[in-house]
């Protein structure tokens, strides 16, 4: 409808795509980027007194998208509000026509989990069945749902610095997923028994040590998406095979950033981008002993691809409100 934007609430966005729908959408986005069929993604950070704003922009095929997310990690405790929230504006990439504005929360949560699943599909050992999950919030739930679709998980150790949160998460998600999920009373011990580790916390200090990681582990490092965040020991990053979602972005704000800043590795030692693994341009895992880290900083490619899929599904189902800057609704 020319001249009208589609407005979508969080509930509407959540209803349009299932978790499983995000995985092929995100995989295709990384593939297209590796094949040169994307606009160059851009990232900016703006610090605020009690948090920060992320601005991510990029384009795929006929779509351009920009996401503005605020990350304020005291929100839930202080205001009963989401810690991360924002908006995505979707436009046509060929003429700039605004197409849709939508709540970003569900897209951010689900596309992040989907990226870890795609990376695990290509980089984890195929029989990986035990996972240590560090982070028991919304993203932890998303990571488990996504990983189950690509790995034969049978047991999960759930870790959080807060014992009550670990216990609540383990009980609730065990019932929800019909999967054995237990609190990780000792993180080192849990990691020693695991094939896969996912870190998805807002930590600003590393808590996963190099000496705790067994041979062959796949690690999806999700939490470090700004320069001051860090979950992994920099020595661990420097010693592993590291695959970035976007090389330049991970060097600027991801776990790789800290390893380089400490002089433990160089930018040239980043093994590949995920899209290069997907397309076969660069090999992924070559043996069962190597430790592989996916440095997942979260990209505009994922946001645009998911927002476009949501927009197309909403249009086909007549979901949302069409609004014009003139104030007219359709």
Q: What are 203-248's pLDDT values in tens digits? A: 999 999 999 999 999 999 999 998 999 999 999 999 999 999 999 9
CA 26/CA 55 separation, integer angstroms: 19
Give the length of the chain: 330
Instruction: Report the DSSP beta bridge partners of residue 66.
Output: 57, 89
Strands (E), 135-225: 155-159, 180-183, 196-199, 218-221
- Asked if domains 5-108+301-323 and 115-297 share a fold, the reply is no
The answer to which of 22-26, 171-175, 277-281, 324-328 has the lowest mean pLDDT is 324-328
**What is the tens place of the pLDDT at every residue in 128-170?**
999 999 999 999 999 999 999 999 999 999 999 999 999 999 9
Close Cβ partners of 212 (under 8 Å, ≥ 6 residues apart): 187, 188, 191, 192
Rounded CA gap, 294 and 307, in Å? 23
> What angle in degrees, to the nearest 10, is found between the helix axes of 138-148 and 19-34?
80
pLDDT above 90 (res 56): yes
Residue 26: HSE in the Cβ half-sphere, 13 Å Cα cutoff: 29
Pairwise CA distance, residues 118 & 149, whole Å = 10
The torsion angles phi and psi of 6, rounded to 5 degrees, stand at -90, 125
Strands (E) across the chain are located at: 5-8, 38-48, 51-60, 63-71, 84-92, 98-103, 130-134, 155-159, 180-183, 196-199, 218-221, 241-244, 272-273, 292-295, 321-323
- Residue 329 pLDDT greater than 70, yes or no: no
Which residues, in sequence order, are bridge partners of residue 323?
5, 329
Percent of the chain with pLDDT over 70: 97
Sequence-separated (6 or more) residues with CB below 8 Å from residue 40? 58
Indicate which residues carry an active-site annotation.
Answer: 67
Average pLDDT, the chain: 94
How confident is the model at residue 328, as a pLDDT? 56
pLDDT for position 76: 82
- The answer to whether residue 311 scores a pLDDT higher than 60 is yes
Predicted model pTM? 0.93
The CATH fold of domain 115-297: Rossmann fold (3.40.50)
221-258 as b/e: b if 16+ CB within 10 A: bbbbbbeebbbbbbbbbbbbbbbbbbbebbbbbbbbbb
Q: pLDDT tens digit string along 61-79? A: 999 999 999 989 888 888 8
Architecture of domain 5-108+301-323: 2-Layer Sandwich (3.30)
- Residue 45 above 60 pLDDT? yes
pLDDT for position 326: 60
- Between 150 and 81, the more confident residue is 150
197: nearest Cα among 249, 228, 237: 237
pLDDT at position 1 over 60: no
Q: Are 10 and 105 in contact (CB under 8 A)?
A: yes
Write down the domain spans for the chain: 5-108+301-323, 115-297
| Cβ–Cβ < 8 Å for 175, 148 | no
Could you give the 3-state DSSP secondary structure of residue 85?
strand
- Chain centroid offset of residue 278 CA: 17
Token pair 């040169």: residue: 36
């Amino acid at each position: 409808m020319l001249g009208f934007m589609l407005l979508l609430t969080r509930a509407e966005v959540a209803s349009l795509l299932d978790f499983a729908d995000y995985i092929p959408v995100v995989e295709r986005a990384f593939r297209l980027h590796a094949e040169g069929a994307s606009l160059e993604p851009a990232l900016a950070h703006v610090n605020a007194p009690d948090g920060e704003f992320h601005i991510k922009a990029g384009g795929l095929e006929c779509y351009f998208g920009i996401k503005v997310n605020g990350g304020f990690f005291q929100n839930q405790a202080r205001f009963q509000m989401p810690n991360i929230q924002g908006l995505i504006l979707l436009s046509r990439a060929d003429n700039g026509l605004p197409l849709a504005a939508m709540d970003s929360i569900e897209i951010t949560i689900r596309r992040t989990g989907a990226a870890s699943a795609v990376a695990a599909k290509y980089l984890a050992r195929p029989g990986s069945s035990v996972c240590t999950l560090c982070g028991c919030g919304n993203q932890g739930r998303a990571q488990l749902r996504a990983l189950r679709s690509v790995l034969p998980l049978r047991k999960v150790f759930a870790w959080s610095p807060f014992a009550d949160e670990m216990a609540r998460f383990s009980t609730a998600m065990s019932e929800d997923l019909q999967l054995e999920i237990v609190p990780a009373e000792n993180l080192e011990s849990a990691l020693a028994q695991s094939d896969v580790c996912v870190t998805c916390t807002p930590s600003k200090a590393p808590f996963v040590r190099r000496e705790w990681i067994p041979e062959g582990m796949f690690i999806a490092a999700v939490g470090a998406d700004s320069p001051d965040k860090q979950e992994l020991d920099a020595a661990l990053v420097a010693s592993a095979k590291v695959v970035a979602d976007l090389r330049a972005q991970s060097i600027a704000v991801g776990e790789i950033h800290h390893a380089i800043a400490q002089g433990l590795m160089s930018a040239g030692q980043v093994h590949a981008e995920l899209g290069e693994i997907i397309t076969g341009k660069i090999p992924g895992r070559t043996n069962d002993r190597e430790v592989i880290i996916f440095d997942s900083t979260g990209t505009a490619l994922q946001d645009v691809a998911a927002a476009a899929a949501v927009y197309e599904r909403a249009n086909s189902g007549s979901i949302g409100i069409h609004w014009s800057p003139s104030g007219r609704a359709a």
